[in-house]
Amino acid sequence: MQANNKHDIGLFLGKSVDNTLKYEMLMSPWNPCSAYDFKEDISVGKRPFLLAWLKQYDWLCYSAIFKGAFCKFCVLFEPPIDKGGVQGAFIKTAFIKYKHFQAQSKIHSKCSWHISSVQSAKNFIAIMDGKKIDVHQMLNSSVKNVIESNNRKLHSIISSIIFLGVHGIPLRGKTDDTAIFNNLLHFTVESGDEILKDHFKNSAKNASYMSHRIQNELISIIGNVICNMILKRVKEAECYSILADETMDIAGIEQLSICLKYVTYENNQTVIKEDFVGFISLEKLDSESISNKIISSLQEWGLDLNKLVGQGYDGASTMAGHVSGVQKRIRDKYKKAVFVHCASHRLNLVLNELNSVPCVRNTIGIIKETINFFKESSLRRIVAPSLTKLCVTRWSESHKALRKYYENFLLIVEALEYLKVNGNKDTSLKATCHLNSVTTSQFIVCLRIIAKYSATIEPITNSLQGINCDLFSANKHIKDLIKYISDDRANNEEMFPILMKDINMYLNELGITLMTPRVSSKQTLRNNPPSSGPEDYYRKSIYIPYLDSLITSLNERFPEDN
């Protein structure tokens, strides 16, 4: 009679049970009475089931059908199988090896399957008792717990990716052992992140969230979230401008980098924002294809092109052409989109045009070669001061490199003299050549002139690249620069002797006598102006032509009517 009880836990193995019966089973499952003879059910060993165990463990049930013990929570709320585990006694089959009952019961009580089932049962009982309002939400609470647990694990992983991205540090290395991302996560664990530590300890190998594919997916998701936040602000703005520049990635694929400049409000104040929103791949590089790509991308992002009031590109004819350039094609469709040639880019072109002065061109070439000489060998870098290469694309870095070169000039000469004597054959030969180049009067004079005006132009370059720079500010910066250089040109006889004090100090330190180059009656490669001495010669042949070239280029690149 007892074996046929409808609340025998054995009747529900692997079956779907309706909520009413499930609730009854949880609250009052069938259990044998004190008169039940457990000895008749023995099939393994000699020890029978003890009735006292049912009071000791609230999850324990006895099945007369299967003549063994089960966990009512794990039977009614069967936990999912994970990490290749096998669910056996107490869950799928009756436990009958009573000699080891106490040990196995404690193990079962602590296993993740049992803990998950107990939590599901508690939530179910609370719902049925009316203590929880949202029944559907509570039925899914176990799933929510898993989601929240995974979110906590991903928090540290995503934070590490963001940290590396913000600081421009690559995630990967040559191997996984040298990958900065992996090492940063292990450092986070060592710093006391117990959630991440538990994740790495208990997660399956295919669910560690550290693979390259997962990294790329997370980076893509982070990028989309950031981009959507930016686009939301741009859509709310009254107007915006687009900044674009062609570039090539490491795989040689041409693409267009896109930035949006707009006005927003923060803490009741007007704030100018300039945000990068992504790269656009370019199949063709003609103006029609590029303009169509820009317009289609803005439309895909959901931006109103009638709010487009500005375009900023470089001065290449494809982008800036007045007949069929990208800016002209876009403005033909959207009249408010005024084109402005990047002021910082124009200023850099002015500096490039200084190469028309032979001495300046030669000096810049020698500086580059000297820096490369030290950079190409770790042994040479040890004896040389910290030098920065003249970066072609980051113009402010070029100014900084020239400034550092001038400030460390005496140390550079000292390092070259050391390598000339103590270096190997190749190093000694190259050091001698560089030493001969940098210890001429002409080089030192030209270096001082370039360093002075590069230091003057550097803060202006940085200001023109600033987010808050507008047309009025840019115009003022350029006018002030032209006036400063023009004043020096007008007063060159007073200004150049000031520079010569620094030049003579270097010459005296190095034991060099200020001399003019050899003068030929038919000189065609350099200026040979009549002069009263070396100082007057360099003022007329280098200083004045340098200032004239600078002023002329500035006036051409930044005309009053533009």
401 shares a domain with 282:
no
Give the Cβ contact number of residue 208 at 10 Å.
15
478 shares a domain with 424:
yes
Burial 362-381 (b: 16+ CB within 10 A, else e): bbbebbeebbebbeeeeebe
Q: What is the mean pLDDT of residues 523-535?
A: 67
Whether 216 is in a domain gets the answer no
Global pTM?
A: 0.59
Please give the biggest Cα pair distance in the chain: 132
155 shares a domain with 126:
no
For the ranges 63-72, 392-401, 463-472, 474-483, which has the lowest average pLDDT?
392-401
Whether 127 is in a domain gets the answer yes
Which one of 193, 210, 227 terminates a domain? 210
167 shares a domain with 131:
no
Tell me the CATH number at 302: 3.30.420
Q: What is the mean pLDDT of residues 429-434?
A: 92
| Residue range 310-355, pLDDT digits in tens | 998 887 888 888 888 999 999 999 999 998 887 777 877 787 777 7
| Residue range 35-64, pLDDT digits in tens | 888 888 888 777 888 988 988 998 999 998
Query: pLDDT category, 83, cuts 50, 70, 90?
Result: very low
Q: What is the mean pLDDT of residues 427-456?
A: 90
Whether 389 is in a domain gets the answer yes
Whether 221 is in a domain gets the answer no
543 shares a domain with 400:
yes
For the ranges 25-39, 129-143, 182-196, 366-380, which has the lowest average pLDDT?
129-143
Q: How far is CA 30 from CA 3, 26, 99, 355, in A?
A: 10, 10, 24, 97
512 shares a domain with 391:
yes
What's the domain count of the chain? 4
Give the Cβ contact number of residue 331 at 10 Å.
17
Listed residue (368, 280, 290, 366) closest to 324, CA to CA:
290
Give the model's pLDDT for residue 521: 56
Q: What is the mean pLDDT of residues 22-28?
A: 87
Give the model's pLDDT for residue 295: 93
| Residue range 203-257, pLDDT digits in tens | 777 777 788 888 888 889 998 999 999 999 999 999 999 999 888 777 778 889 9
Whether 234 is in a domain gets the answer no
Q: Containing domain of residue 432, as a range?
A: 348-557
Q: Is 242 helix (H, G, I), strand (E, B) or coil?
A: strand
Average pLDDT for the chain: 84
- Interatomic CA distance for residues 367 and 348, integer angstroms: 18
- Interatomic CA distance for residues 330 and 339, integer angstroms: 9
pLDDT at 91 over 80: yes
Whether 223 is in a domain gets the answer no
124 shares a domain with 186:
no
502 shares a domain with 369:
yes
504 shares a domain with 360:
yes
Give the model's pLDDT for residue 520: 58
Whether 135 is in a domain gets the answer yes
353 shares a domain with 335:
no
Which one of 124, 139, 154 terminates a domain? 139
Q: What is the mean pLDDT of residues 463-476?
A: 76
Q: What are phi and psi of 254, to 5 degrees?
A: -75, 135
For the ranges 142-146, 151-155, 254-258, 452-456, which has the lowest average pLDDT?
142-146
178 shares a domain with 135:
no
357 shares a domain with 326:
no
Whether 224 is in a domain gets the answer no
Which one of 139, 174, 201 terminates a domain? 139
- Interatomic CA distance for residues 358 and 478, integer angstroms: 25
Percent of the chain past pLDDT 90, that is, above it, reads 20
- Interatomic CA distance for residues 62 and 68, integer angstroms: 6
